[in-house]
Amino acid sequence: MHLIQKIFLNRVAEIEYATIGKGNPVVLLHGFGEDNTIWEHQIDFLQQHCKLIIPNLPGTGQSKHTDAGRPLSIESMADNIKLLLDQENITTCIMLGHSMGGYITLAFAEMYPAYLKGFGLIHSTAFADTADKKKNRQRAIEMIAEYGGYAFLKNTIPNLFGNSFKYTNIEMIDQLIEKSKAFNNNALQDYYRAMIARTDKTNLLANTHLPVLFIAGTEDAAAPIADTTQQSTLSPNIEFHVLEGVGHMGMLEAPDKVNQLMLNFIHHTI
């Protein structure tokens, strides 16, 4: 998929992003080891119903973190999105984030709630990393240093998918792996450090007055269904949907279902 990209410059980052469609603004934030084209099925569908803003996070594509005095963090990436919205003269939007993009969405909701009409976590969690998860991420940082990001992602990307999908869509998964060659090792390591350092956001979920969308997969090892189910009960404002037999990549594994869930949430939230 080819998106017409723009570059937004500010003092801490250069942000590459695309806008497409007309109407109410909806921001789509990709996750770790992805770029904004991970939303290709959603872009094709949703552009008929709203205005989409789809950035590449700093370290992905042509987006860069340029403030050497400030380490990349979940909060700094949320700041970048806020500045991008200001650049586009967008004062309120819906924000939907996949995986790491969901962590950024939660940080944004905490820091800039007035900008949001609602937000969504797509295969993501409000829990901070456990001690074991932090150790695994640190181990991944070391593996990337030793073997490179491509070798690391080549082994991890297939495990993001549900079992059935993984074995019946080998070509598509191979294409994702091939795209991962574009990632800079340092950027991947910075993402892991940012995720390790992030804080728990369950109080935010419990206290927000905004509508919240959760989409979870029964075979998601990265954002386990037990965790997301537990979080779904924190507030009556949370709309929780489970995709049976789907792993961490519902946008690709069950695109029609995810598209409809997103559209329904957008229509109900506007």
Q: Is-contact 197 123, C-beta < 8 A? A: no
71 inside domain: yes
Q: What is the mean pLDDT of residues 242-270?
A: 97
89 inside domain: yes
Residue 270: band (very low, low, confident or very high) from pLDDT cuts 50, 70, 90? confident
pTM to 2 decimals?
0.97
Q: Is-contact 78 54, C-beta < 8 A? A: no
Beta-carbon contacts of 171 under 8 Å, excluding residues fewer than 6 positions away, are none
pLDDT in tens, 6-55: 887 776 778 999 999 999 999 999 999 999 999 999 999 999 999 999 99
181 inside domain: no
**pLDDT of res. 68:** 67
205 inside domain: yes
182 inside domain: no
pLDDT in tens, 121-149: 999 999 999 999 999 999 999 999 999 99
For residues 247 and 267, what is the distance between their CA atoms, to the nearest angstrom? 26
For residues 161 and 150, what is the distance between their CA atoms, to the nearest angstrom? 18
pLDDT surpassing 90 at residue 263: yes
DSSP conformational letter for 270? -
Specify the number of domains making up the chain: 1
Among residues 177, 243, 179, 215, the alpha carbon closest in space to that of 28 is found at: 215
Q: What is the mean pLDDT of residues 157-164?
A: 97
For residues 45 and 48, what is the distance between their CA atoms, to the nearest angstrom? 6
For the chain, first and last CA: distance in Å? 28
Percent above pLDDT 70 for the chain: 98
CATH at 249: 3.40.50.1820
**pLDDT of res. 149:** 97
**pLDDT of res. 148:** 97
166 inside domain: no
**pLDDT of res. 2:** 63
Q: What is the mean pLDDT of residues 177-186?
A: 95
146 burial (CB, 10 Å; 0-12 / 13-18 / 19+) is: exposed
**pLDDT of res. 4:** 72
pLDDT in tens, 210-245: 999 999 999 999 999 999 999 999 999 999 999 999
* Domain residue limits at 241: 6-129+199-269
**pLDDT of res. 203:** 98
Residue 65: band (very low, low, confident or very high) from pLDDT cuts 50, 70, 90? confident
Residue 1: band (very low, low, confident or very high) from pLDDT cuts 50, 70, 90? low
**pLDDT of res. 70:** 81
